[in-house]
Amino acid sequence: MMLPLPAHCTTRSRTSSDLPSRPDGRVFNGVIRLFFIGRNKNGFWIAREARGRSGGMFLLRPSALRFARLASAPHGCATMFLAKTFELDTRNAGNPVVGWLDAALGLVSRFIPDDPPPIPIAKKYRKRDWLV
């Protein structure tokens, strides 16, 4: 059962135009499906088809690879691992629990400042005083 994410919970840091372009026909045939595999800003694994027809969020990398393999069965697919983070811009056909965790982390992270204030340390606990 797929649970839909509320509209206010979805965040997009990278659009499909920011993803790499598909290699030309000299590298591999255009009929072969290409999946981008990478992480989003919260560290969850994303598998997204290059044309944006399918995609999913996963907790583990092998799960993302299995999704790509099964989505392109019986012909197979090519996978491209991305070093930069990207967000899923299609319906989550992967693990629905991971989709909800990602949305919850997105909401919680709004309340955490980027630069937290320094933690005051009492003078008696400073390291240079321990050596005396």
Tell me what the mean pLDDT of segment 43-53 comes to: 94
pLDDT at 110: 87
Tell me what the mean pLDDT of segment 45-52 comes to: 94
pLDDT category of residue 3 using cuts at 50, 70 and 90: very low
As a whole number, the mean pLDDT across the chain is 82
pLDDT category of residue 90 using cuts at 50, 70 and 90: very high
pLDDT above 90: residue 118 = no
pLDDT at 76: 86
- Report domain extents, the chain: 30-114
pLDDT (tens digit per residue) in 97-113: 999 999 999 999 888 88
- b or e along 56-80 (b: 16 or more beta carbons within 10 Å of the residue's beta carbon)? bbbeeeebbbebbeebbeeeebbee
